[in-house]
Chains A and B, each alone.
Chain A
Amino acid sequence: MELLYYKKNATRRQKIIGYEMSRAGWLSVFVMGLGQFRNRQKGKGFLFLSIQLTYIMVEILTSSLVQGSLQGQPRAWGYGFFMRGIWGFITLGETTGGRFRDNSPVLMIEGLIAILLLSFLVFIWIYNVKDANNTALMYNLTGQRQSSKAYFKEIGESSFAYVVSTPSLILLLFVAIMPIFFAFFIAFTNYDAYHSPPADLIDWVGFANFGKIVNLPGWRTTFVGVASWTIIWATLATFTTFFGGLFLAVLVNNHRIVCKKIWRTIFILPWAIPGMVSLLVFKNFFNQTYGPLNQMLGLNIPWLNDPMLAKVTLIAINFWLGVPYFMMLMTGILTSFDKTIYDAAKVDGANRQQMFWKVTFPILLSQVMPLLIMSFAANFNNFGAVFFLTNGSPRNVAYEYAGHTDILITWIYKMTKDFQMYNMASIMSILIFLIIGGISTWNFMRTDAFKEE
């Protein structure tokens, strides 16, 4: 009864560390595992203690007390892996030039790894306090406690999951998570062409870069211009291919068509040819002076050289590339449709057109809506389409490092690869994430897969 009462009325803090702090809980706050020893759970206590000792040993063994003098960080004398990491992250280096210079990005990455590992320790530490405390409280209430053996059996049950997914998690940590944090923090530094490590150090500048986008007219114009074109592009690219694919799927499905398979195989060809090849071919195909299209027509149309026309051509070529994907998807969904739903519509006297737009289409849309949003996100970041076709051209004199057809992602590419504007590029990445992340989260929240887990 008391236990139920406690569970029902616990505050947030109490839920995490227990109804009240017991002696065992306090002991675990200071030395991990000590509380468990007091609870007579030796095995468990030893496990927590050894985790803490491992961290301490790593810090000692990597420090200059053991390793000798440190290369590159004279000020960090005596620091081990974790302390040095934090020092590097805060200062981003203090010495330039010479053999022992600091390399700011490297220091930041080492710092991030140290901080990530330390935050794991914090998690385990909180769990250790919570565990010691709850065991003690439970013992006071019921006079019983779980043995270490039972605890390890519980862990053993799920250990297979942990062991098997460890390689993937380590890969993700280094290749996905750490780089995201890195890119995020770069947005708050002055890492650009004028501060390029290892020759120079970079420094924290806070929100100064964000201020640039708001305050400097050139950056503001470029950002507003490129961002709005990106949204227009992503919307049009998604909708044209969606309706084009739907139209082709319905057309080939028509009862008057023979050899449906042959037609479909021809129509999915653009999907099967790698995008880069098609795009580079089209780039030449639509060339104003020597492109075959103008020569065939005997005209001199600036397909990719006029700002407005270039955008239209871009969307048209993306249509060619993207239609097959949606056509195959719609064909799959249309053929698996439950035909009985049409009977009711027929009874009500609906004609073929009404049946399609009032019955088929809404059901279809509800099924492909998640995919449509994912496709929008993909088009938003469709680097290849713009890069290989126009590379952002024609030039826009009012823009900073961007052309008329550049979308956010190609603008970022130019800023990093060609102009080393790493900090501004990072800001753009954060903004892209906020837009795309917002849309995707909203989308995923509504799927069954999310609700179930």
Chain B
Amino acid sequence: MGIYKWKTMGHMERIKEIILYTGIYMLLLLVAVAILYPVIWIVGSAFNEGSSLASSTAIPRHPTLHNFVRLFEETDYKKWYMNTLMIAVLNMIASVILTGTMGYVFARLKFAGKRFGLLSILILQMFPSFMGLIAIYVLFLNFGLLNQPLALVIIYGAGQIPYNTWLVKGYLKNVPLSLDEAAYIDGANKLQTYIKIILPVMFPILTFVAVTQFMVPWFDFILPSFLITSSDKKTLAVGLYELINGQANNNFTMFAAGSVLVAGPVAILYLFLQKYLVEGLSAGANKG
């Protein structure tokens, strides 16, 4: 709204505008405070002196790194971090490879059983993944995979296939088929067409898959809590949860410190990749 409009307004209109402006900005500020307060409070807690929740304040009176030191000295935090990082990277790579090829196959190629396959993975997606956990437990027990963090990649990698295949397939619907046909005419086979022509086009959606799948293991709780037992094999979610489960009053600042070290980078990554995340979300939503 320009100055000109303001000048042409009547007296009552001006008052109305002023009230509207204050109202809207008050509302925005209120929401911002409600969102930021808990965030500031946990960051503050991480730098607080004491170990208990009751004494910690949003802005620490005497900031200290004591909690971070304790975290590394008294717990297996470093090992949890490395375990989770390895799972995350492997899961990211496996997911991109598996889903990329599945998405290409289901979007571009014709073969017997395609409709059946698409329908089956659709139905698979509806089951609570939790449901088969006992079977997976027994299966892992049989194959000696229990208590091995890297084995979790098998489940994460397989679990994401149904949803992401539909997502990638939906995305490829917007890419003209003439691209593939031109490659075939030039004598490329399906593998060459996929790697040289389609893969570069799929970059944005594969970024979405990579980022979301990298995030999964950091704070997934159920799977590792079922399948991992010893302390040095744990992932961050289980380790951090057990730190404050039942004794929040004693370890809360340590938990806060541990959370800041993970949630910080994760949040920054999310904020930077905002565009891809929202695009991937809506691209898959409208078509799948």
Using a CB-CB cutoff of 8 Å, which residues 41-93 of chain A contact chain B?
A: none
Does B3 touch A at the CB level, under 8 Å?
no
Binds B, one of A141-149, A222-230, A339-347, A429-437: A429-437
Q: Which of A105, A274, A371, A417 contacts B263 (CB 8 A)?
A: A274
Let me know if A161 and B54 touch, CB within 8 A. no
Chain B residues with Cβ below 8 Å from A444 are 122
Let me know if A426 and B41 touch, CB within 8 A. no
C-alpha gap A257/B28 in the complex (Å): 9
Q: Given known contacts A251-B28, A272-B266, A426-B131, is B35 in contact with A256 (CB within 8 Å)?
A: no
Does B144 touch A at the CB level, under 8 Å?
no
Q: Which of B102, B219, B255, B281 contacts A165 (CB 8 A)?
A: B102
Chain A residues with Cβ below 8 Å from B65 are none
Q: Which of A183, A285, A448 contacts B41 (CB 8 A)?
A: A285
Chain A residues with Cβ below 8 Å from B115 are 453
Q: Given known contacts A171-B154, A290-B54, is B286 in contact with A367 (CB within 8 Å)?
A: yes
Closest chain-B Cβ to A304's Cβ sits at a distance in Å of 12
Q: Given known contacts A165-B101, A168-B101, is B132 in contact with A277 (CB within 8 Å)?
A: no
Binds A, one of B19-27, B69-77, B85-93, B174-182: B19-27
Does B241 touch A at the CB level, under 8 Å?
yes
Let me know if B219 and A105 touch, CB within 8 A. no
Does A242 touch B at the CB level, under 8 Å?
no
Q: Which of B38, B133, B142, B158 contacts A281 (CB 8 A)?
A: B38
Using a CB-CB cutoff of 8 Å, which residues 81-114 of chain B contact chain A?
A: 98, 101-102, 104-105, 109-112, 114
Q: Given known contacts A433-B126, A440-B126, is B244 in contact with A280 (CB within 8 Å)?
A: yes
- For residue B220, which residue of chain A has the nearest CB? A276
Closest chain-A Cβ to B283's Cβ sits at a distance in Å of 10
Let me know if A371 and B133 touch, CB within 8 A. no
Does B278 touch A at the CB level, under 8 Å?
yes
Q: Which of B157, B263, B281 contacts A171 (CB 8 A)?
A: B157
Closest chain-A Cβ to B131's Cβ sits at a distance in Å of 4
C-alpha gap A310/B148 in the complex (Å): 37
Binds A, one of B7-15, B202-210, B267-275: B267-275
Q: Which of B98, B128, B222, B241 contacts A433 (CB 8 A)?
A: B128
Let me know if A268 and B271 touch, CB within 8 A. yes
Let me know if B282 and A168 touch, CB within 8 A. no
Does A119 touch B at the CB level, under 8 Å?
no
Most chain-B CB neighbours within 10 Å: which of A175, A275, A282, A417? A175
Most chain-A CB neighbours within 10 Å: which of B24, B98, B219? B219
Does A182 touch B at the CB level, under 8 Å?
yes
Contact with B along A251-286 (1 / 0, CB 8 A): 110111100000101111111111111101111110
C-alpha gap A285/B155 in the complex (Å): 34
Binds B, one of A206-214, A232-240, A327-335: A327-335
Contact with B along A373-400 (1 / 0, CB 8 A): 0000100010110011000000000000
Let me know if B155 and A161 touch, CB within 8 A. no
Chain A residues with Cβ below 8 Å from B111 are 157-158, 161-162
Interface residues of A (CB under 8 A from B): 105-106, 109, 157-158, 160-162, 164-165, 167-168, 171-172, 174-180, 182-183, 186, 248, 251-252, 254-257, 263, 265-278, 280-285, 287, 290-292, 295, 320, 328-329, 332-333, 367-368, 370-371, 377, 381, 383-384, 387-388, 409, 412-413, 416-417, 422, 425-426, 429, 432-433, 436-437, 440-441, 444, 447-450, 453
Other than the given A276-B237, A280-B259, A291-B53, 12 more pairs (CB < 8 A) read A109-B135, A160-B190, A171-B161, A186-B134, A267-B35, A280-B241, A292-B58, A387-B221, A413-B222, A422-B134, A432-B128, A453-B115
Interface residues of B (CB under 8 A from A): 1, 20-21, 24, 27-28, 31-32, 34-36, 38-39, 41-42, 52-54, 56, 58, 98, 101-102, 104-105, 109-112, 114-115, 117-118, 121-128, 130-136, 138-139, 142, 154-155, 157-159, 161-162, 166, 169-170, 189-191, 215, 218-219, 221-222, 225-226, 237, 240-241, 244, 248-249, 252, 255-256, 259, 262-263, 266-267, 270-271, 274, 277-278, 281-282, 285-288
17 pairs, A vs B, C-beta closer than 8 Å: A160-B109, A161-B111, A179-B134, A182-B138, A248-B31, A267-B35, A268-B271, A272-B270, A275-B219, A276-B241, A280-B244, A283-B248, A290-B249, A329-B282, A381-B130, A429-B127, A440-B126
